[in-house]
Amino acid sequence: MAKDPIKKADNGTYYFRANLGYDSKGKKIQKQHGGFKTKKEAKEAYARVILEKNNPNAPSDSTQKLTFKGFIDDIFLPWYKTQVKERTYEHRKLIINKHFEYFFKFELTKLKPIHVQSWQLELSQTLKSSSVRTVQHLLSMCLDRAIILGLMNENPSKIIGNVKKEKTKIEFWTADDFKKVLKCMDTNDYYQHFMSVAFRLLFMTGMRIGEGTAIHWEDINFKTGQLTINKSLYYKNREDYTFSETKTKASNRTIVLDEDTLTMLKEWKKVQGKVVKTELVMSYNGFPNKKDIYGNAITQYAEEAGVHRITVHGMRHSHVALLISMGENPLLIKERLGHEDIQTTLGTYGHLYPNSNFEVAQKLKGVLLDKEAKSA
């Protein structure tokens, strides 16, 4: 958390130094005020300076009448945009505009725990607990920023606390499920061939969809079988997309592909090359595609195959379930998925090892017996 901008002087009064940005020469612009008898007075004055900096037309006493929406639009979002990746900012801005509307007309200083609790209960009627937790975490972050800026004295969201965390059920396809889906896809049809390649690549690698759609042909070494993952697709539309860094540093990784997947990719490269010239592996028209087309295809083919529907991210879960069923080490799975630590891997997928306790018990049997005793 950022340091408290309000300081106490040697003479017992309070002062602050507000950072207002940088001038044309890159020199920091600061404004300092002091001589306040109480910390509360200093906080109110600091808040006015920050508010006027973000909204020059605001009257000097507008701090007390600042609405939650005014704080979000004029103060929080401009700051937050400088703190995170563009795709993160755009995604969370949508969440704020959709789920924080409940608070927009409130004066910021009059937002109380009872209001947050009512909002929380309302959200819980339509959203899963995991989604409510995500949205409320964002609300707490916004209000923490208001406290840092001296606009509020306490965070009503943290006073209420978040909803109880529930274990999310992992939806995945088994290898048999996936085989049924593939049988419904006609690879003689160019588009269905493309979709089968996309499905198989995700299923056999466990890549995130953003990573998969960012893969270029140069990222695949057909001699060594290695696939390099070092970027992710940020997609708005066909004319507006970028390839940015991966989710975390650990997401930059190399995956070794099996021979069947390499053969499939070689064949697809030939077929694709006859239709369109592109460096993208998961493309049928030379452009990357929005995630929706894969989700729609999953819905269609799951119904045709008579298997349960999973999400696009469920392909990643399916890869993990496949590796676990093969008895692979969790550390190997962690590296293949690009998780930052083993706790993330085990916390998400540990329950898929249902018989591991019994297997360990069988392996421990007799380890302390002498060889002679075992043979007797």
pLDDT one-digit tens code per residue, 25-71: 667 677 788 888 888 788 777 777 776 665 555 544 444 478 999 89
For helices 113-124 and 129-148, what crossing angle results, to 10°?
A: 160
Taking residues 347-370, what's their average pLDDT? 67
Strand order in the sheet with 14-22: 6-8, 14-22, 28-36
Indicate whether 180 pLDDT > 70: yes
pLDDT attached to residue 59: 46
pLDDT at residue 20 in the model? 67
Mean pLDDT of 85-112: 91
Residue 253 pLDDT: 92
Residue range 320-341, pLDDT digits in tens = 888 888 888 888 888 888 888 7
d(CA 339, CA 173): 21
Give 6-160's CATH code, choosing from 1.10.150.670, 3.30.2320.80, 1.10.150.130, 2.70.150.10: 1.10.150.130
- CA–CA separation, 265 and 204 (whole Å): 12
Average pLDDT over the chain, rounded to whole? Answer: 85
- Residue 304: its pLDDT value, please? 96
What is the distance in angstroms between the CA of the first residue and the CA of the last residue of the chain?
66
User: What is the reported pTM?
Assistant: 0.64
The residue ranges of every structural domain in the chain are: 6-160, 175-356
CATH number, span 175-356: 1.10.443.10
